[in-house]
Amino acid sequence: MSDPARRFRPATEADVTRDGHRFSWLKADRWREGFRALVLEAGGELVGVGRIGPNPAHPLRDLVEIEIAEGHRRCGHGTALMHELGNYSDNPLSDKVVPGSERDLFLRSLGAVTYLEVPLLRLELAAERTARWCAEAREGRDGAVRVIPWTGLPRDQLIDALVDRYTWQHASWSPTAPRETIRPVVGEEFYEGAVHEHSWAVLRDGPITALADLYDEPVGPVREGSLEAVGAASPHARGDVALCLAAWLEDLRAAGVATLDLDNHPTDPHTAPLLATLRREAVDPVHLVEIPNALTAQLRDVP
């Protein structure tokens, strides 16, 4: 890492203009508040780029991305660039990897550890048992609840519910920033990115108690989305999530959707047990990993 042939410097707009087509992570330094972007030169050639900065939703870990040009990998450049970027952070660094991928193996070599495994759970909507499951879930419905698509609800009410849901879902393993900070990201952006006519909500005596949101991509017979209760501790949370899921599955099946991938966490206390009662397949697993930095790197290196 002390190779004198290596040189780190802040990325410039000229770098982006000249080499942006080569590196998907190339941004000019400080292109966003709190973020740093570096380029790595070796032998006078730009061989790597990286960026690091705060996670706006999860302030206890920083985001980091690097990219090393083909033909210059496995030369120590990636390790050197990660260590250089770590000088701009006092937090552990966070990333997402596919198990066994080149990216996964590289980050493991730097000491990365998994803090959550997240598989997509794929449901076959045309299965007859799925239809029977939905009918059974509706059997316990009482007069205090309404199950309606997002198109029937005010924008601000849905955004507030999305923020509430996200905050408690992550509280135990990746605490969030304050509501006013995360609202534009996990509230407004999630709202704008959903297909409203095929996203559903359960209301109990007025407030929203469960949400199912269909993502706008991918399009076609395979779709993706997520759902959970809006509050963790409601005595009706499990049943309301079941009602929401049943309405969602029946709606998507009628719209010709063949399979639905659930982008949920295995830690979701209401949705995970409900999905376990359906026939589902785990596909495309990813690991959320933490790379030691600052305090965690210091403690790891204690002799």
Q: Which residue type is seen at 118?
A: V
Using an 8 Å Cβ cutoff, are 80 and 89 in contact? no
Q: What is the pTM of this model?
A: 0.87
- Tens digit of each residue's pLDDT (9 = 90 or more) over 93-117: 999 999 999 999 999 999 999 999 9
Find the helix packing angle between 128-139 and 237-254, rounded to 10°.
140
Phi-psi region of 134 (alpha: psi -120 to 50; beta: other; left: phi over 0): alpha
Instruction: Give the pLDDT of residue 45.
Output: 93
Contact between 278 and 248 under an 8 Å Cβ cutoff? The reply is no
The mean of the pLDDT values for the chain is: 93
Average pLDDT over residues 18-32: 92
How far apart CA 92 and CA 204 sit, in angstroms, is 40
